[in-house]
A and B are shown apart, each in its own frame.
Chain A
Amino acid sequence: MGKFFAILLIIITLVSVYPIVTHMWWMPEVVSAHGPAVDHQLDETMIGSGVLFITSQFVLAGFIWAFGNHKGKIKNWPGGHRPVVAFGIILVGLEILSLSFVGSKVWASMYITKPDLNALHVDVQAEQFAFFFRYAGPDGVFGSIHPDKINDGSGNYFGLDPENDVAARDDIVVGTLTIPVDTPILLTLHSKDMIHNFYVPELRIQQDIVPGIDIPLHFTATKTGKWEIVCTQLCGLGHYSMKAYLQVMSKPEYDDWLKQQSGD
């Protein structure tokens, strides 16, 4: 029985580790400037954890093999518990310190350091169950938001008041987040109803969108292409279908697109 258990543990460990090592199902391509640092942090953690995982499961298997149904003199761990406790504290302590130190820098670069002063501002409105994106238009000024004016059926997702608010008249509202490549982007995230979330796996970034709070999120996309923005915070029956597309264009293409939108 002990040998069977030990072999089973070893098989389970190897089979579990195999898809990780071979990247059978892995993170999609990284398309943001800060993304590689996140990937590096994950890779480092994966190596450290992988060694811990394999070692501890193999030790468990080894001990079960050696001492299963063993009869006779009992042995105690040589040196008693003190070296083991010390080993545990030091090993884990060192891993914690190093991962924390490096990791907090990565985190800070995404969420604490201020966005570029010349970042392109896009306003994001999340609602049950769609995202809408607003650009300031030729006047460069965003119109103010009036919740009592929100009317989805008339296409007024943001609650703009163009009748009284001149700045709102040229605001561009679209359903796809269209941005130029290699340009710092600053999103301001609003929710009108539930807590939602803005998540693009390829950008390696996500942020809850909370009603009552305007939350900034900044990043720079480093590749052109089209990816999905998905909601990860349970927001109601349509949560699984709440998505929009992120379209990253070359700068000339983006300028053309913007001109076209302003013309409408």
Chain B
Amino acid sequence: MHDMSAEPAVHHLSPPQGFIRKHVFSLDHKVIGLQYYGLALAAVFIGMVLSWLMRLHLGWASLAIPGLQHLSPNGAPGGVITPEYYLSLMTMHGTIMVFFVLTNAPFAGFGNYFLPIQVGAEDMAFPRFNMMSFWVTFVAFLVLIAAFFVHDGPPISGWTSYATLSSVGGISGPGEAMGQNLWAVSIALFCVGQLLGSLNFIATTLDLRTKGMTLGRMPLSTWAWFITACIGLLAFADLLPATILLILDRTAGTSFFNPAGMVVSDTLLPHSGGSPLLWQHLFWFFGHPEVYIAIIPGFGIVSHILPAFTRKPLLGGMRVMIGCLIAAGFLSYMVWGHHMFVSGMNPFSAVLFSVPTLIITIPFTVATLMFLGSIYGANLRFTSASLFCLGFVSVFISGGISGFFLAQPSIDTYLHATYFVVAHFHFVMAVAAIFGIFAATYFWMPKMIGRMMNDTLGKLHFWLTFIGVYCIFMPMHYLGIAGNVRRYASFTDDYLVPLIPVHKFITIAALLTGAAQFIFLYNLIHTRWWGPLAPENPWEATSLEWSTTSPPPFDNFGGRHLIVHQGPYEYNAEGAAQDYVMQTDPDFVARS
């Protein structure tokens, strides 16, 4: 670790010239972060529209949606969604949301923008890899969207793409020919993009911290991005070969996932020797860490933002939260089999996987208790950002508790593949992780684009969304307890028909909550062009991003090499003149 204070304060890359270099093929981590954010924004609106189509069909199965027949004459003749098109919409909804929203925005988006700044670096360790990682991800998105426009439509196998539905080609159903191929190629490309990104995050965190920025003084958001990058390196390194094996089974006649003796629609297939369970192992060994990749940045972001609005450090300080996140990340590799309790694996393994799954509750419980305890005795300030942080705590509790049920195999035997599972993962991902993204947006947008967002609209956005998500996802628990199976295009079974009114309620809640998101979109657009200019430190916060202009200059700190003297959360520190001390403050001496 060499002493960077002696280095001349010159960025090792010269400032970009021209529109393309500045805004399109940029090496600047800030531009790349915004590009990821923009991609996630486009993706989330597409994913949300898909969810509206799904929910409309579930509430009103014979509803004709005007114009849909032009997007897909096969999928929606006369505008009525066919069962196969419902599954296509569902597959694309899940894939777009999990990969292109929840992995992109909190990690690649905000992480790319703020990790170098928060550690005091001028850019990421490998700016060219960084640029490549975004453009590879962008191409992956285009490849995925292309599936909407091929003859047979998008795949129908869900974002989990289980073999053998996904591994034998078009004979298993519409969308399983070209659509599934496009899906697999898209995900493979996405893995490459993420691997490049993870490498950057890890190298930058370990090697490019400025003088005085010890690991213990890195903000919790940086810690979370670092831990997420480590998890991601292993997880995406597993998914990439899995998608390649899938493509080979589908196109090259291999049999990694296809056993002998398969007869699909009276057609005997020539495969032999493969195991459908192998796909599930490969997928979930990635898949479980992936959902932690989706939520851990959210924990880091809330951990970082909340102190600014409680005006005191988190209960437990740095160590407890970092310990919780590391424990969660580590344990996330031991629990993948809890997605496979009834999969046909040896039933002893269910007991083996259920124990670490229940144990993983502990770090998340402790982290949540730390958040709760931090509000006690605080000078709590209500802004759009802090409301979403508080909301995060509430919805994460709601989502986490349903996990308690699913972690027990004896209960999972009843609740597996019902709407109870759908409620659980939507609460922790679609709600909690998205709340983290909203909190981050309201908190950091002033820094990123140099203008303040409208706080009244932001608060209105929060109230409508908070009430809305409970109306959408809480009833799904009741449906699950009633045995309502998931991934059904419509409800024709005798015991499901009486539950359709609940689905109608959920649909209406979903449409209204979706409409409320346009308040957020309007706020973003209005702010970009007409928002009041933002000062350097509008929230009176302490970390390094608030020691530079809004937005920061090309090299982040205008030629300065910052020297760090304080921890990241010196709020209401004993003996300080104000209720916060910047990390660069050279004079203050912390008492504890």
The interface of chain A, by Cβ under 8 A from chain B, is 1-2, 5, 8-9, 12, 16, 19-20, 24-28, 37-38, 41-42, 45-46, 48-49, 52-53, 56-57, 59-60, 63-64, 67-72, 74-77, 80-81, 84-85, 87-89, 91-93, 95-96, 99-100, 103-104, 106-108, 110-112, 127-128, 147-148, 150-153, 159, 192-195, 197, 199, 201, 204-213, 215, 227-228, 230-241, 243
Whether A81 lies near B173 (C-beta < 8 A) is: no
B413 touches A81 (CB 8 A): no
List, in ascending order, chain A residues with CB within 8 A of B398's CB: 16, 53, 57
Closest 3 CB pairs of A and B: A212-B259, A75-B377, A201-B483
- Bound complex: CA of A42 vs CA of B491, how far in Å? 25
Q: Which residues of B contact A25 (CB under 8 A)?
A: 478-479, 481-482, 499, 502
Binding site for A on B (CB under 8 A): 82-84, 87, 156-158, 162-165, 172-174, 259-266, 268, 274-277, 310-312, 315-317, 320, 342-344, 347-348, 350-351, 354-355, 358-359, 361-362, 365-366, 368-370, 372-382, 387, 390, 393-394, 397-398, 401-402, 404-405, 408-411, 413-414, 416-418, 459, 463, 466-467, 470, 474-475, 477-479, 481-483, 485-495, 499, 502, 572
- A145 and B568 CA atoms in complex are apart in Å by 68
Residues of chain B contacted by A20 (CB below 8 angstroms): 477-478, 481
Return B578 CB to nearest CB of chain A, in Å. 13
Which residues of B are found within 8 Å of A37, using beta-carbon distances?
Answer: 410
10 A-B pairs, CB-CB below 8 angstroms? A16-B398, A20-B477, A45-B404, A53-B397, A88-B365, A96-B361, A111-B347, A128-B172, A212-B261, A237-B82
A59, B408: Cα distance in complex, Å: 27
Which residue of B163, B358, B379 contacts A100 across the interface (Cβ within 8 Å)? B358
Q: B157 — which chain A residues lie within 8 A by C-beta? A: 234
B390 touches A195 (CB 8 A): no
CB neighbours of B266 from chain A (8 A): 150-153
**Other-chain contact of A38, B164, B390, B410 (Cβ < 8 Å):** B410
Name the B residues within 8 Å of A74 (CB-CB).
311-312, 377-379, 572
Residue of B263, B405, B466, B488 near A240 (CB, 8 A) is: B488
User: Considering only CB atoms, which chain A residue lies closest to B402 in the complex?
Assistant: A49
A60: chain B residues within 8 A (beta carbon): 372, 375, 390, 393-394, 397
Question: In the complex, what's the smallest C-beta–C-beta distance from B310 to chain A, in angstroms?
Answer: 8
- Complex Cα–Cα for A70 and B496 (A): 50
Q: Is the CB of B470 within 8 A of A12?
A: yes
**Contact status B276-A210, CB under 8 Å:** yes
Q: How far is the CA of A240 from the CA of B259 in the complex (A)?
A: 25
CA separation between A77 and B376, bound complex, in Å?
A: 6
Give the Cβ gap from A207 to chain B, nearest Cβ, in Å. 5
B160 — nearest CB in chain A belongs to which residue?
A234
With A and B bound together, what is the CA distance between A111 and B156 in angstroms?
Answer: 31
Given contacts A88-B366, A201-B414, 19 further A-B contacts (CB under 8 A): A1-B382, A16-B470, A38-B413, A67-B310, A67-B379, A69-B382, A74-B377, A87-B369, A96-B358, A128-B172, A205-B413, A205-B414, A230-B485, A231-B485, A232-B417, A234-B87, A236-B172, A236-B173, A240-B83
Q: Are B84 and A237 in contact (CB under 8 A)?
A: yes
B518 to chain A, nearest CB (A): 22
Are B397's CB and A76's CB within 8 A?
no
A195–B379 CB distance below 8 A: no
Distance of B84 from chain A, by nearest CB (Å) = 4
**B414 with A206: CB separation less than 8 A:** yes
| B382 contacts A63, C-beta separation under 8 Å | no
User: CB-CB < 8 A to A237: which residues of B?
Assistant: 82-84, 87, 156, 173-174, 489
A62 to B256, CA, bound (A): 55
Q: Check A107–B414 contact: CB distance below 8 A.
A: no
Contacts of A92 in B (CB 8 A): 361-362, 365
Contact B317 A81 (CB under 8 A): yes
Provide the bound-state CA to CA distance between A93 and B277, in Å.
Answer: 31
B263 touches A159 (CB 8 A): yes
Contact of A215 among B344, B351, B483 (CB under 8 A): B344
Contact status B342-A207, CB under 8 Å:
yes
Chain B residues with CB under 8 A of A71: 379
| Contact residues in B for A87 (Cβ distance below 8 Å) | 369
Residue pair B410, A107 in contact (C-beta under 8 Å): yes
With a CB–CB cut-off of 8 A, which chain A residues contact B264? 128, 192-194
Per the bound structure, the CA–CA distance linking A64 and B470 in Å amounts to: 19
Minimum C-beta distance from B276 to chain A (A): 5
